[in-house]
């Protein structure tokens, strides 16, 4: 939250954030920022990098799915099978990348925007 203090007012679980993921309900905080439908152009697996620069690197479908499925198993153990099937189907159809997020936040949107421009949408 130190990096995004403006979002602090939208945190819904302030009392438990030391022990849980912080929850921000964007639909309540910034409903104008929610798109109802968008084509999907690529899958990005975000990793916080130990650099200032943000960079994109191709990643294998299996590596991407391993990280996504692990996260799903941890945070949504009761709803795994439909999500895993959807992730696998998307990974078969889309290019997969790891986006290594640097500490210079201004660099992140242009990298994502370029990825969107460079890939053909599905959906």
Specify whether 23 is located in the same domain as 42.
no
Bridge partner list, 57: 98
Residue 90 belongs to a domain: yes
Domain around 21 = 1-34
Q: What is the pLDDT along the chain (123 residues), one digit of tens a residue?
A: 777 788 888 888 876 656 677 788 888 788 898 888 889 999 999 999 999 999 999 999 999 999 988 887 777 777 678 888 989 999 999 999 999 999 999 999 999 999 999 999 886
Residue 123 belongs to a domain: no
Specify whether 14 is located in the same domain as 49.
no
pLDDT computed for residue 3 by the predictor? 76
Specify whether 53 is located in the same domain as 111.
yes
pLDDT computed for residue 17 by the predictor? 57
Please give the order of strands across the beta sheet that includes 43-48: 43-48, 96-101, 55-58
Specify whether 29 is located in the same domain as 45.
no
Q: Read off the pTM.
A: 0.73
Specify whether 111 is located in the same domain as 74.
yes
């Amino acid at each position: 939250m130190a990096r995004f203090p403006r979002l602090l007012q939208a945190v819904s679980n302030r009392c438990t954030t030391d022990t849980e993921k912080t929850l921000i309900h964007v639909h309540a905080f910034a409903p104008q920022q929610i798109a109802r439908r968008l084509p999907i152009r690529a899958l990005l697996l975000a990793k916080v990098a130990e650099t200032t620069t943000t960079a994109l690197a191709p990643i294998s479908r299996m590596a991407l799915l391993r990280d996504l499925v692990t996260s799903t198993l941890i945070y949504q153990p009761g709803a795994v099978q439909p999500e895993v099937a959807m992730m696998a189907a998307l990974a078969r159809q889309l290019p997969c990348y790891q986006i290594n997020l640097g500490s210079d936040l201004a660099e992140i949107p242009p990298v994502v925007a370029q990825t969107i421009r460079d890939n053909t949408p599905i959906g």
